[in-house]
C-alpha cells in the first residue's frame, strides 16, 4: 500500500506535465485502478474518496420509467440491481400562462416546465426514446448531464417534428443531473423552458424522508415588461444582456403559491430536488425560516450540513433536506431578492401541525411576503454599432460563413439541404434566389406561414434572430452565394431598404 501511495503523486505530476490527451487518458485510468479498496463502496450519503465505484452488478430485466410532472417526483427506487430502463419523453410546444393574464409559448419536455422528472439507479442502462410531437414547429434534442458521451446525447437525439430518436446510455455516477435541449439557438430553446432533472440514485438509495418535491428555477425574456398582458414573444436582445423579465420556479408566477404550495406536517423531513435551468442566472437558493440540515451541494455526493443559502449554477442542481419543526408558511426564494419580489421567483411550503413555542413563538403573517407586483423596467435602446459601410464580397462571404454556422446550420443543415417537411433547403432554393429583398426580410424578421421551396410545401416558423444590419448583409450574401446558389453581394443599403418597406 505504501509503495502505491508514494507512486500516485509522482504519476499525477508527470501526467500534469504531459500535454498529450492520449497520455492523460492513460494516466487517469491508471490512477483509478491504483487505489482499489480505499473508497467505501456504495455508501450513500458518505463523502467519497476519489475512486468511483464502477461495480454496478448485473443488469437484470427491463422496466418503463415512471415520469412525473413538477412538483412531484417518482417514488424512490427499491430494486437492488441495475436494469434496462426505458424512458419515453415527448417534446411538446404550447402556449400557456407565465403569469396572470400573460401567455408565453413554452417548449417543453413532457408538457411541463421544468420537464418530467426521471429517476434511475446507478448502473441502469437507459434506453431513451425522444419523441417530437407532430404539432411542433422546431426540431429538438436532449443533452443529459448524466450521460458520459459527446454532447450528453445531443448529437444522437436531434429530432424533427413528428419523429422519434432512440439512443442508450448507462448512468454511472450517482447524483442529481440537469437535462436540457441543445438545438441551436441553444439559449432560446432553454429560455423557452426546455430543461428538467434526471436523478441517479446510489446503490441502496438515499436515506428515507417523509416528503420529496421537485423545483426548478429558470429565467425568461419577454417582449413586454413583467406583468404586461397578452401573448409575449421571446426577446433575444434581453436574453443576450441577461436581463430577464421573469425569474421563476416551475415555469410560472405562482406555480408553488397558495393552494399550489408544497406541503408537509410538523415533525416531517422534507427533501427538495432543486435544479436551475438558467439559461443565464445563478440561483442563491434559500428557504425563509429554514436551515438545510443536509445539502448535497451541486447535486453531487458530498453532504454539507447547516447551510442557509446554496448557490445553484445554471445547468446545475442541489438536493436539500430539512426537518420542519413548526407550522406556517415557508417562502422559497432566490435570495438575489429582487427576483423574488419583482420577477416571480417565489414558492411556498405550507407546514401544518401543532406549534412549538420554544422553537418559534410569534405571530406569522404571510401577506407581507406576497409579490410586490410589477417592476418598472425600461429597456436600454440599442445603438447601432460602428461598422464599415462598404465590405467586399469576400469579406461578407467570410463573416457570413461563420454566422451561418452559428445561427442557421442547426435548422438548414451544413450544406443548406434542410430537413424534409421541417426546414426548407437553401441549396438551389428558388424561393431564396427569386427575390433578394424578400430573402433579406426573412432573416430580418423571421418567417411564418405556408411557403413553397423547389415545389415542396413548408408551413412552419423561422424565429426572428436579432442580427445587426451588417450581419444580415453578411449572412444573406453567404447563403445566396453558397450551396449551388450564385447571386451578388447584399449591401447595407439593401438591408435598410428592406427594413423600411
Ligand atoms: Cu429544443
Yes or no: say if 120 and 65 are a contact pair by the CB < 8 Å rule. Answer: yes
| 296, three cell numbers | 448535497
Confidence of residue 371 (pLDDT cuts 50, 70, 90): low
Three cell numbers written together for 162: 413528428
Mean pLDDT score, 440-460: 92
- Mean pLDDT, residues 321-337 taken together: 95
CA of 372 from ligand 1 middle (Å) equals 33
Assess whether pLDDT exceeds 60 at residue 238. Answer: yes
Task: Compute, in angstroms, the gap from residue 181 CA to the centroid of ligand 1.
Answer: 5
Which three three-digit cell numbers place residue 452?
A: 413553397
pLDDT of 380-405, one tens digit each? Answer: 334 445 566 689 999 999 999 988 98
- Quick check: 13 pLDDT over 50? no
The values of phi and psi at residue 343, to 5°, are -130, 5
Out of 7-21, 55-69, 227-241, 411-425, which region has the weakest mean confidence (pLDDT)?
Answer: 7-21
What pLDDT score does 362 carry? Answer: 66
Q: Quote the mean pLDDT of the chain.
A: 86
CA of 204 to the centre of ligand 1 (A): 34
Cα(216) to centroid(ligand 1), Å:
17
**Quick check: 6 pLDDT over 80?**
no
User: How far is Cα 493 from Cα 383, in angstroms, rounded to an integer?
Assistant: 18
Comparing 375 with 385, which gets the higher pLDDT?
Answer: 385
**Residue 393, all three cell numbers:** 464580397
Tell me: pLDDT of 72 over 60. yes
pLDDT at 390: 82
Task: Grade residue 25 by pLDDT with cuts at 50, 70 and 90.
Answer: very low
pLDDT at residue number 423: 86
Q: What is the pLDDT of residues 174-204, one digit of tens each?
A: 999 999 999 999 999 999 999 999 999 999 9
| Per-residue pLDDT band at 363 (split at 50, 70, 90) | low
409-418 contacts at long range (C-beta below 8 A, 24 or more positions apart) = 409/184, 410/139, 410/183, 410/184, 410/185, 411/138, 411/139, 411/184, 411/462, 415/483, 416/479, 416/482, 416/483, 417/483, 418/453
| More confidently predicted of 115 and 422 | 115
Are the C-beta atoms of 379 and 282 separated by less than 8 Å? no
pLDDT exceeds cutoff 50 at 1: no
In this structure, are strands 283-287 and 328-334 parallel, antiparallel, or unpaired? antiparallel
Tell me the three cell numbers of residue 226.
413583467
Residue 217 has pLDDT above 80, yes or no: yes
pTM, two decimals, is 0.68
Ligand 1 centroid–CA 151 distance in Å is 14
| CA 268 / ligand 1 centre spacing (Å) | 38
Q: For residue 409, how far is its CA from the centre of ligand 1 (angstroms)? A: 14
| Residue 50 reports pLDDT greater than 60 | no
Angstrom distance (rounded) from CA 438 to CA 448: 13
Place of cell 405550507: 350
Mean predicted confidence (pLDDT) in 375-380: 39
pLDDT at 17 over 60: no
Average pLDDT over residues 483-494: 93
Give the lowest-confidence range in 78-92, 96-110, 138-152, 447-461: 447-461
CA of 47 to the centre of ligand 1 (A): 36
Is the confidence at residue 422, as pLDDT, over 70? yes
CB atoms within 10 A of CB 455: 6
Q: In terms of C-beta distances under 8 Å and separation of at least 24 residues, what long-range contacts does 353-358 make, across chains too?
A: 353/265, 353/266, 353/267, 353/327, 354/266, 354/327, 355/326, 355/327, 356/266, 356/325, 356/326
For ligand 1, the distance from its centroid to the CA atom of residue 189, given in whole angstroms, is: 5
- The strand pairing partners of 177, in sequence order, are 198
Q: Give the residue with greater pLDDT, 113 vs 408.
A: 113
Which residue is associated with the grid cell 416571480?
Answer: 344
pLDDT in tens, 331-357: 999 999 999 989 999 999 999 998 887
Tell me how far the alpha carbon of residue 407 lies from the centroid of ligand 1, in angstroms: 14
**pLDDT for position 414:** 84
Percent of the chain topping pLDDT 70: 84
Cα–ligand 1 centroid distance for 248 (angstroms): 19
Lowest mean pLDDT among 39-48, 125-134, 243-252, 359-368: 39-48
Amino acid at each position: 500500500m505504501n509503495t502505491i501511495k508514494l507512486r500516485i503523486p509522482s504519476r499525477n505530476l508527470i501526467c500534469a506535465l504531459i500535454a498529450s490527451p492520449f497520455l492523460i487518458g492513460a494516466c487517469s485510468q491508471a490512477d483509478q485502478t491504483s487505489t482499489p479498496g480505499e473508497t467505501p463502496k456504495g455508501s450513500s450519503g458518505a463523502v467519497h474518496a476519489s475512486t468511483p465505484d464502477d461495480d454496478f452488478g448485473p443488469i437484470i430485466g427491463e422496466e418503463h420509467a415512471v415520469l412525473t410532472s413538477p412538483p412531484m417526483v417518482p417514488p424512490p427506487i427499491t430494486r437492488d440491481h441495475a436494469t434496462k430502463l426505458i424512458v419515453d419523453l415527448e417534446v411538446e410546444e404550447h402556449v400557456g400562462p407565465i403569469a396572470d393574464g400573460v401567455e408565453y409559448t413554452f417548449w417543453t419536455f413532457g408538457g411541463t416546465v421544468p420537464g418530467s422528472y426521471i429517476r434511475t439507479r446507478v448502473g441502469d442502462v437507459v434506453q431513451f426514446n425522444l419523441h417530437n410531437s407532430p404539432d411542433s414547429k422546431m426540431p429538438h434534442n436532449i443533452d443529459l448531464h448524466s450521460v458520459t458521451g459527446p454532447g450528453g446525447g445531443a448529437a444522437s437525439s436531434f429530432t424533427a417534428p413528428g419523429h422519434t430518436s432512440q439512443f442508450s446510455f448507462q448512468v454511472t455516477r450517482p447524483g442529481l443531473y440537469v437535462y436540457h435541449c441543445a438545438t441551436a439557438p441553444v439559449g432560446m430553446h432553454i429560455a423557452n423552458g426546455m430543461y428538467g432533472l434526471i436523478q441517479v440514485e446510489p446503490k441502496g438509495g438515499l436515506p428515507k424522508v417523509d416528503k420529496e418535491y421537485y423545483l426548478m428555477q429558470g429565467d425568461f425574456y419577454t417582449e413586454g415588461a413583467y406583468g404586461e398582458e397578452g401573448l409575449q414573444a421571446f426577446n433575444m436582445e434581453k436574453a443576450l444582456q441577461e436581463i430577464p423579465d421573469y425569474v421563476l420556479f416551475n415555469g410560472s408566477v405562482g406555480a408553488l403559491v397558495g393552494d399550489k404550495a408544497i406541503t408537509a406536517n410538523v415533525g416531517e423531513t422534507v427533501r427538495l430536488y432543486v435544479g436551475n435551468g438558467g439559461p443565464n442566472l445563478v440561483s442563491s437558493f434559500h428557504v425563509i425560516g429554514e436551515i438545510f440540515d443536509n445539502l448535497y451541494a451541486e447535486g453531487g455526493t458530498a453532504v454539507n450540513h447547516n447551510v442557509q443559502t446554496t448557490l445553484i449554477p445554471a445547468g446545475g442542481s442541489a438536493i436539500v433536506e430539512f426537518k420542519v419543526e413548526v407550522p406556517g408558511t415557508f417562502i422559497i426564494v432566490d435570495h438575489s431578492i429582487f427576483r423574488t419580489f419583482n420577477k416571480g421567483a417565489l414558492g411556498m411550503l405550507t407546514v401544518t401541525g401543532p406549534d412549538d413555542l420554544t422553537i418559534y413563538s410569534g405571530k406569522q403573517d404571510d401577506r407581507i411576503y406576497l409579490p410586490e407586483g410589477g417592476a418598472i423596467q425600461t429597456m436600454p435602446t440599442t445603438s447601432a454599432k460602428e461598422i464599415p459601410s462598404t465590405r467586399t464580397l469576400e469579406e461578407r462571404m467570410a463573416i457570413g460563413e461563420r454566422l451561418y454556422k452559428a445561427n442557421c446550420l442547426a435548422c438548414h443543415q451544413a450544406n443548406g439541404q434542410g430537413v424534409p417537411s421541417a426546414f426548407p433547403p437553401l441549396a438551389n432554393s428558388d424561393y431564396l434566389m427569386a427575390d433578394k429583398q424578400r430573402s433579406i426580410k426573412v432573416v430580418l424578421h423571421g418567417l411564418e406561414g405556408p411557403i413553397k421551396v423547389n415545389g415542396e410545401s413548408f408551413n412552419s416558423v423561422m424565429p426572428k434572430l436579432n442580427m445587426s444590419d451588417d450581419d444580415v448583409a453578411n449572412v444573406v450574401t453567404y447563403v445566396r452565394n453558397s450551396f449551388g446558389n450564385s447571386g451578388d453581394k447584399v449591401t447595407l443599403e439593401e438591408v435598410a431598404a428592406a427594413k423600411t418597406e
